[in-house]
Amino acid sequence: MNKTKIEWTESSWNPITGCTKISDGCLNCYAEKMAYRLKTMGTKGYENGFEVTLQYHQLEKPLKMKKPQMIFVNSMSDIFHEDVPDDYILKIFEIMDQASWHIFQVLTKRPERLKSLKDKIVWTDNIWMGTTIESNKYINRVDFIKNTNAKIKFISFEPLLSSVKDVDLSGIDWVIVGGESGSGARIIKKEWVYEIRDKCEELNIPFFFKQWGGTNKKKNGRLLDGKIYDKIPL
């Protein structure tokens, strides 16, 4: 378990590392760059670089942490990647069920796999289920999230690469929006952010604006019209 600088969580837990690119938001993947850096440094668990790797030694970490944490699950991978066996996914959910004092935030770009696992997953209230929607091309991902029994269903529009004005946020409990950061960061337009914020306000959905991003994330900050939006459904 590692402390993280990600604004909407407290810690990250990686029982899986490595992934493959599946959609536009993956182009400048921060996890890929980090994985190769950790491999070069000789960090345990990153011997395979960014190849999908099951990290069995990480599985029970949440059970050993007695202080309640908000935990981002698989910041260095995707729990529903096609190379991850069903049994291993279900084991991760069992650990989250047992560690009821933590809140687990599961985020995927592959929510369609939830359909086949729906009846096998036990959704305790501490497991939040989300998907990434980076542009209008992927708004159908929201439907798979809505069809789960997760108590909290959320969407991360990061990196936001286009207008998503057609997305239906009814039944969603939390929304995160952010621009891409780092080298080669693609543009985010204010009007795209306003569209989402206004939908959230209309539906009374907690809205979290993470960052404007860009090549200088710190300088650009996270103020939207002079205000910080950092609501969390607690």
pLDDT band at 148 (very low <50, low <70, confident <90, very high): very high
Structure tokens at 169: 């946020």
pLDDT band at 66 (very low <50, low <70, confident <90, very high): very high
pLDDT at residue 213, rounded to an integer: 87
Which residues have C-beta within 8 Å of that of residue 75, sequence separation ≥ 6? 4, 6, 12, 14, 31
pLDDT at residue 54, rounded to an integer: 98
Domain for residue 49, yes or no? no
pLDDT at residue 216, rounded to an integer: 84
Q: What is the rounded CA–CA span in Å between residue 96 and residue 122?
A: 10
Domain for residue 188, yes or no? yes
Count of domains forming the chain? 1
Domain for residue 124, yes or no? yes
pLDDT band at 230 (very low <50, low <70, confident <90, very high): very high
Sign, CA torsion 81/58/157/170: positive
Domain holding 131, by residue range, is 2-13+55-220
Query: Are the C-beta atoms of 144 and 112 separated by less than 8 Å?
Result: yes
Tens-digit pLDDT profile for residues 80-111: 999 999 999 999 999 999 999 999 999 999 99
Which residues have C-beta within 8 Å of that of residue 114, sequence separation ≥ 6? 80, 108, 121, 129, 144, 145, 147, 148
11-13 and 2-3 strand pairing: antiparallel
Domain for residue 39, yes or no? no
Q: Between these two residues, 217 and 154, which has the higher pLDDT value? A: 154
Q: What is the rounded CA–CA span in Å between residue 78 and residue 84?
A: 9
Sign, CA torsion 45/46/47/49: positive
Query: Are the C-beta atoms of 162 and 144 separated by less than 8 Å?
Result: no
Tens-digit pLDDT profile for residues 117-136: 988 999 999 999 999 999 99
- Taking 80 as the threshold, does the pLDDT of residue 2 lie above it? no
- Taking 80 as the threshold, does the pLDDT of residue 3 lie above it? no
Domain for residue 164, yes or no? yes
Tens-digit pLDDT profile for residues 26-45: 999 999 999 999 999 999 99
Query: Are the C-beta atoms of 108 and 16 separated by less than 8 Å?
Result: no
Q: What is the rounded CA–CA span in Å between residue 150 and residue 152?
A: 5
Q: Over pLDDT 90: what percentage of the chain?
A: 88
174-178 and 207-211 strand pairing: parallel
Global confidence as pTM? 0.94
- Taking 70 as the threshold, does the pLDDT of residue 1 lie above it? no
- Name residue, tokens 């708004």: 139
Domain for residue 148, yes or no? yes
Burial of 170 (0-12, 13-18, 19+ CB in 10 A): exposed
pLDDT at residue 133, rounded to an integer: 98
Quote the Cα angle for 143-213-132, to 5°: 15
Tens-digit pLDDT profile for residues 164-209: 999 999 999 999 999 999 888 999 999 999 999 999 999 999 999 9
Domain for residue 234, yes or no? no
Domain for residue 174, yes or no? yes
pLDDT at residue 203, rounded to an integer: 97
How far from each other are the two terminal CA atoms of the chain, in whole angstroms?
A: 22
Q: What is the 3-state secondary structure (H, E, C) of 183-199?
A: CCCCCCCHHHHHHHHHH
pLDDT at residue 19, rounded to an integer: 97
